[in-house]
Amino acid sequence: MPAVVRGGRRQGSTKSKGQGSRKVPATPGKVAAIGRLDLSPRAVLISIVAGVVVLGGVLATGARAERISNSVSNKFDSVTSGMGLKVKQVHVTGASPEARAAIQQAVGVRADQPIVSLDLNAVRDRVQAVGWVKEARVVRLLPDTLIVDVKEHDRLAVWQTGGHAYVIDSSGKVIQGADAGRYPKLPLVVGKGADQTASEILPLLAQRPRLMARIEALVRVDERRWDLRLKDGSLIQLPAVDQDSALIRLDALDQRERLLDLGFARVDLRTPEEVAVRPSEGAV
């Protein structure tokens, strides 16, 4: 019977049962290489040199890789734009008429710009950099709409200091870009420190519309207390602490004597449990 050839080796006929088989030992080098790593000084040196060569190749081709990446990105934008996925509408919500133009300019998105690859975080950061804006949220609505929703700083008062006037919010922050001349109905606070403490006194005065309607300006004195200057030239001096109690005493006097209608030069409320009134020169 002819021999059978498998895998290039010639195999003879089957041996008889009486003939013992002989095991061929495996090659020591190949077995030893499996399951262990040669960390000899020479091998470490070779690995380091190879790593430096590979790193140098990567750095040398970095510009090319960037060009390839840009090319792929441009191709992706071209494909998605061809599918109609590009900016057609930008809706800005929550913006006041005064702030809208600055916010729209900060959005910085042009018509027909690919919408899928648009960096929404970058748009949001630009919008939040506008002085009017406290926070912003940008939403992409496929296929072609961008929503920019903003929350503006509240307008608490006009702060006058150093010959300049600024619009401030309830935290005392100056709202960049806000023209103080456009807010004649906002309370006027004057002096150093008035911006940081206006949010404490104004709510107390808002509870007293009869008094609030007569106030021309709130003047911060020595960064400790307030003087209320009325439109008729009168002055109300508040204490440095417990201002609410002082205003309650003023309320009681006004209800009893109609003080705000009669006119006066000065009302001193700085002493607890006491009200000192100086009549105006024309008072009888």
Tokens 């920019």 sit on residue: 148
Q: How many helices (H) and strands (E) does the chain have?
A: 9, 13
Q: Are 91 and 63 in contact (CB under 8 A)?
A: no
Query: Which of 10-24, 67-81, 201-215 is the most confident on average?
Result: 201-215
Distance (Å, whole) CA 160 – CA 219: 9
239-255 average pLDDT score:
94
69-78 average pLDDT score:
54
Mean predicted lDDT score pLDDT of the chain: 80
List, for residues 25-61, the tens digit of each pLDDT value: 444 443 333 334 444 545 444 544 455 454 455 445 5
Tokens 């021309």 sit on residue: 216
SS3 at position 202: helix
77-94 average pLDDT score:
80
Higher pLDDT, 55 or 262: 262
Q: What is the pTM of this model?
A: 0.69
pLDDT > 80? residue 268: yes
pLDDT > 80? residue 23: no
Structural domains in the chain, sorted by start: 89-152 (3.10.20.310), 157-278 (3.40.50.11690)
**What is the H or E stretch that residue 6 is in?**
strand 4-6
213-236 average pLDDT score:
97
pLDDT above 70 covers a percentage of the chain that reads 70
Residue 182 sits at φ, ψ, to 5 deg, of -90, 5
pLDDT band at residue 168 using 50, 70 and 90 as cut-offs: very high
pLDDT above 90 covers a percentage of the chain that reads 63
List, for residues 127-162, the tens digit of each pLDDT value: 999 999 999 999 999 999 999 999 999 999 999 999
pLDDT band at residue 81 using 50, 70 and 90 as cut-offs: low
Which tokens hold the place of 76?
């992706």
